[in-house]
Structure 1
Amino acid sequence: MSAVASPCIGYCKLNDDRVCAGCFRHVDEIAGWQEKPDTEKQTIIERCAERKQGFTQ
């Protein structure tokens, strides 16, 4: 089992940039999540946090 959990919160809606409004992952980061190595998952989690900080509604 992976040590890095999916950031999915069950609110899946992609914006025009193809970024999920729930977890802030790009569609390319969502695809194949389970097969990605933990180091890549951690990098994606960090990118999501950056996107979330820059998010405005």
Structure 2
Amino acid sequence: MSRDVWERDEIESPCVQICVIHREERLCIGCLRSIDEIASWSRMSASERATIMDELPSRAPRLKKRRGGRARRNQG
């Protein structure tokens, strides 16, 4: 039996199973998708998925901003 029957020609999910939504940015800290993108991923066309995949690397810096921590406490 051929395995070709089970292979799909579509963009796979960027999910890395670290599913935590960043409070301010409203993005998953694991895959960098929004809640709406995650929820509708299975219904998106290949071109819609490709567009999102292309945007993901540019979203990462949005989650690197620190809100507080030691540096914040030492300021005042």
RMSD: 1.4
Gaps of 5+ in 2: 1-7, 67-76
Is this contact kept in 2: 1:4–1:41, CA < 8 A?
yes
Q: Structure 2 CA distance, aligned partners of 1:42 and 1:13? A: 22
Residue number among 47, 52, 58 corresponding to 1:39 in the alignment: 47
The count of residues paired between Structure 1 and Structure 2 equals 56
**Rg comparison, structure with higher value:** 2
Shift of 1:2: 4.6
Change in CA separation of 1:49 and 1:35 when aligned onto 2, cut-off 3 Å = same
Normalising by structure 2, we get a TM-score of 0.66
Normalising by structure 1, we get a TM-score of 0.84
Q: Which structure's residues are more often helix, by fraction?
A: 2
4+ residue segments displaced more than 6 Å = none
1:6 equivalent to 2:17? Answer no
